[in-house]
Amino acid sequence: MTANPVPHLPVIIVGGGQAGLSVSWHLCAEGIEHLVLERAARFESWRRNRWDSFCLVTPNWQCRLPGWPYRGPDPDGFMARDEIVAYLDGFADSFHPPLREGVEVTRITRQGAGWLVQTGTGDFTADQVVIATGGYDSPVVPPYAADLDPSIVQMHSRDYRNPGQLPDGGTLIVGTGQSGVQLMDDLHLQGRPVHLAVGPAPRSPRKYRGRDATDWLYDAGHYAVTIDRHPDPVKALTQTNHYMSGRDGGKEIDLRRYALDGVRLYGSVAGGAGTRLDFLPDLERNLDDADRSYQGIRNQIDAWIAAQGIDAPIEPPFEKVWRPERETTRIDLAAEGITAIIWAIGFRPDYSWLEADCFDSRGHPQFRRGVTAVPGLYFIGLGWLNTWGSGRFLGIDEDSRYLAERIAARQRAGLAA
């Protein structure tokens, strides 16, 4: 009795989020047969891994998926979570991609000139493979979290939904990337006692000189700068995103003003055990560095306005409205009334299932515009794949079109290289 042959596809895309489905859209346009494998459901992370009040940080007009630009009534607004999901569902429904949901890829290995893709529901072979799983696989929680008193409720920002999940008392949020500051704001608006461990993340203006700062930066060509032309590519690849918020129509996040309003600020967390938590004495330095980034963006916009001779309103100079009188380097969580900690210090990618010679010593994939040195292997949806917009709604169309063109050309050339 002959075993059933393993199904073969010219192209397999791993990941059914906006990045993977954007490549699918362009492959459909190219007439290239392919299959998208998604371990859960399409856009699962948008549906399940965002808090209730989540909204975009970038304006709606930057939502430019292939053939599906934002068409709503508020291009300068910021879509909330459910609106984002509806936008994404509309995109997928617009072309009906060849998508299989509930299929987890467990291993990908080289097989001849192509690939063996193993899943929990059966195997496939493919000539070419696109990895569109993103970089948010494993939530980061420091090792010393296990040494803290078990009465302290701990969760990662991915699991936070609303203040009702948390016990009465204060909450310490660790991290000041976009998630950390927005969760701080969410709790603060609900009147909850909030403590915030401030890391080295930069911040950005929201509205400046009559427009959203991102509008000015777009016009100035800031988002068109490619990683190979960036003045400091290492910094671009490793720096945390600038924090601001799209909530309530978009607003600036100045942590000094939150401190005046009762939020307790500390430096970076250094360790802890029991109910003790230690901080580095870097609060003021981190606030100053964030402000330096903020002022640098204002200066960049000012220079663009001046160079173009644009008539725009003048803003008052930036003022530091608060500074720490002293650096608190140790607290007792119980004595401070802190009953919960939210770790908002990011994620680590997990490519342990991909056996390919395309990773550096830190396990990061190496590529040029998503094309690796391994023939027939590509990445999409990662930050700075090519520009700032890579991995975001703004740049995913350009990135996915580029990859699809390379994939199609190689397929039609008989996979010679």
- How far is the C-alpha of 46 from the C-alpha of 176, rounded, in Å? 21
Give per-residue pLDDT as tens, 177-200: 999 999 999 999 999 999 999 999
| Contact between 385 and 392 (Cβ < 8 Å) | no
- How far is the C-alpha of 293 from the C-alpha of 261, rounded, in Å? 23
Give per-residue pLDDT as tens, 146-158: 999 999 999 999 9
Using the predicted structure, report yes or no on whether residue 354 has a pLDDT greater than 50: yes
The pair of structure tokens assigned to 389 is 């917009």
pLDDT band at 391 (very low <50, low <70, confident <90, very high): confident
Residue in the block written with tokens 């490793």: 238
Give per-residue pLDDT as tens, 244-267: 999 999 999 999 999 999 999 999
Q: What is the DSSP string of 389-416?
A: TTTSTTTHHHHHHHHHHHHHHHHHTTS-
Using the predicted structure, report yes or no on whether residue 417 has a pLDDT greater than 80: no
Q: What is the pLDDT of residue 303?
A: 98
- How far is the C-alpha of 200 from the C-alpha of 194, rounded, in Å? 19
Q: What is the pLDDT of residue 1?
A: 40
Domains of the chain: 8-137+349-412 (3.50.50.60), 139-343 (3.50.50.60)
Residue in the block written with tokens 């609303």: 162
pLDDT band at 236 (very low <50, low <70, confident <90, very high): confident
Give per-residue pLDDT as tens, 26-80: 999 999 999 999 999 999 999 999 999 999 999 999 999 999 999 999 999 999 9
- How far is the C-alpha of 29 from the C-alpha of 242, rounded, in Å? 35
Query: Comparing C-alpha atoms, which of 324, 329, 336, 335 is closest to residue 193?
Result: 336
Give per-residue pLDDT as tens, 256-304: 999 999 999 999 999 999 999 999 999 999 999 999 999 999 999 999 9
Q: What is the pLDDT of residue 65?
A: 98
Provide, for the chain, the percentages of residues in helix, strand and coil under a 3-state DSSP scheme, each rounded to the nearest 5.
30, 25, 45
The pair of structure tokens assigned to 122 is 């059966």
Distances (CA, A) of 112 to 116, 126, 157, 356, 390: 9, 10, 42, 13, 32
Query: Comparing C-alpha atoms, which of 350, 412, 342, 399 is closest to residue 370?
Result: 399
Give per-residue pLDDT as tens, 95-142: 999 999 999 999 999 999 999 999 999 999 999 999 999 988 899 999
Using the predicted structure, report yes or no on whether residue 2 has a pLDDT greater than 70: no
Q: Which amino acid type is present at position 151?
A: S
Q: What is the pLDDT of residue 415?
A: 66
Q: Which amino acid type is present at position 84?
A: I
| Contact between 205 and 297 (Cβ < 8 Å) | yes
Collapsing DSSP to helix, strand or coil, 173 comes out as: strand
pLDDT band at 416 (very low <50, low <70, confident <90, very high): low
Q: What is the pLDDT of residue 136?
A: 86
Q: Give exposure, 77-113, as e/b (b: 16+ Cβ within 10 Å).
A: bbbbbebbbebbeebbeeeebebeeebebeebeeeee
**DSSP type of residue 247:** G
Mean pLDDT of the chain, nearest integer: 96
Using the predicted structure, report yes or no on whether residue 86 has a pLDDT greater than 70: yes
pLDDT band at 3 (very low <50, low <70, confident <90, very high): low
Give per-residue pLDDT as tens, 108-120: 999 999 999 999 9
Q: What is the pLDDT of residue 283?
A: 98
Query: Comparing C-alpha atoms, which of 195, 220, 200, 193 is closest to residue 208?
Result: 220
Q: What is the pLDDT of residue 137?
A: 87
| Contact between 393 and 63 (Cβ < 8 Å) | yes
Q: Give me the residues paired with residue 102 across strands.
A: none
Give me the mean pLDDT over the 312-324 stretch.
97
CA 306, chain centre distance (Å): 33
- How far is the C-alpha of 334 from the C-alpha of 381, rounded, in Å? 42
